[in-house]
Amino acid sequence: MTRQELIGLIRERRSFLCVGLDTDPAKMPEHLRNEKDSVFHFNRAIIDATIDHCVAYKPNLAFYEAQGIEGLRQLKMTMDYLHSLGKPAFTIADAKRGDIGNTSQQYAKAFLDPKGDFNFDAITIAPYMGSDSVQPFTVYEGKWVILLALTSNKGAFDFQLTTDANGTPLYQRVLETSKQWGTEENMMYVVGATKAEMLTDVRHTVPGSFLLVPGVGAQGGSLEEVCRYGLTKDCGLIVNSSRGIIFASHGTDFAERAGEEARKLQQQMAAVL
C-alpha cells in the first residue's frame, strides 16, 4: 500500500486506528479455546467487527511463534483472510527484526514478498545493527519499514534516552541517521504514546513521516495528547490499540465489544481529522 493509498484510506474511514492482533490463546474467550484453528477464528471475528473502524492490523509475531508452527499457520490463515476481503487494510508484521545485510534480505522476503506466506505491507525493525540491517526492507514496491525510535516500555530508558556528547538522545540519532536510508514513502517510525510530549521533538526531525504509535489504552497513552503533538496535514499517525480492543470482553460477546471499542476510538479520531 502506497503512502497516497494509506492517506486515502484514512480519509475514507475517518480513522487512523490500528488493531493489534496480539492473540494470546490464554486470554481468548473460553468457548473458543478448544476449537480447531481457534486463533484464526478469533482473529476473523475481530477483523469482521472492526474493519470499518480501523485502517490497519498489526499481529505481533511473538504471540504466533509462541504456539510454534501451528501458530504461524494460523497467522497465514489470518493474512489470507485479510487479503481476501474486498476492504483494504494496511498490514503490519510487528516482528522487530534486524540483522546483517544478507540476512535482513531474508527477513524482508519472509514478511514482505508478495509471493511469500504472509505478504505484509510493513514490518517493524530494531535499529541497533544500523544501515545494512534496515535497507533491505525498503526495496519492495509499496512496502514499508517501521523503525523503532522511542518505545513505550520501561526499558526504553536504558538506551533510547541516553544522550551523546551534544545532548542528543539515541532515539533522535536513530531518526536523523535513518532518514538517509529511506523516504517518507517507505519508512515510518515507532514512537510510544506514553511520552507524547516527546512527539514535538520527533516532529522536528521527521516532520512528514508517518508514526506508528503503540501504547494507547492498556499501556497508558492518551489519544488526545498524541494528536496534539503528532498530527500532520496528511494525518501522519497510525495509532495502535491491542488488548483494549481484542480483549475488551472475554465472553461470547468478545467481537461485538471489540467492535464497540474500535468504534469509540474511530469517533474520537474522526473528530480530530
Total number of residues shown for the chain: 273
The smaller minimum CB distance to a second copy, of residues 115 and 233, is found at 115
Size of residue set near a second copy by CB under 8 A: 58
For residues 89 and 55, the answer to whether their CB atoms sit within 8 Å is: yes
Rounded least distance, CB 16 to a second copy, Å:
22
Q: For the chain, what is the radius of gyration of the CA atoms?
A: 18
Among 69, 86, 141, 271, binds a second copy (CB under 8 A): 69
For residues 32 and 253, the answer to whether their CB atoms sit within 8 Å is: no
Q: Which residue matches cell numbers 536504558?
A: 158
The smaller minimum CB distance to a second copy, of residues 112 and 269, is found at 112
Is 96 a residue of the active site? yes
Q: Is 65 in the site for a second copy (CB under 8 A)?
A: yes
For residues 60 and 21, the answer to whether their CB atoms sit within 8 Å is: yes
The smaller minimum CB distance to a second copy, of residues 86 and 167, is found at 167
Q: How far apart are CA 32 and CA 54, in angstroms?
A: 24
Q: Which residue matches cell numbers 483494504?
A: 88
Catalytic-role residue among 27, 76, 96, 264: 96
Q: Which residue matches cell numbers 541517521?
A: 177
Q: How far apart are CA 84 and CA 42, in angstroms?
A: 17
Q: Is 156 in the site for a second copy (CB under 8 A)?
A: yes
Q: Is 179 in the site for a second copy (CB under 8 A)?
A: no
Site track for a second copy across 76-115, x = CB under 8 A:
x-----------------x-xxxxxx-xx-xx-xxx----
Q: Is 68 in the site for a second copy (CB under 8 A)?
A: yes
For residues 64 and 24, the answer to whether their CB atoms sit within 8 Å is: no
Angle CA 190–135–191, to nearest 5 = 5
The window from 10-18, 45-53, 61-69, 265-273 that contacts a second copy (CB under 8 A) reads 61-69
Rounded least distance, CB 87 to a second copy, Å:
25
Of 172, 82, 152, give the one whose Cα is nearest residue 120. 82
User: Which residues does the annotation mark as catalytic?
Assistant: 96
Which residues contribute to the site for a second copy (CB under 8 A)? 22, 24, 60, 62-63, 65-66, 68-69, 72-73, 76, 94, 96-101, 103-104, 106-107, 109-111, 116-118, 126-134, 148, 151-160, 162-165, 167, 170, 173-174, 177
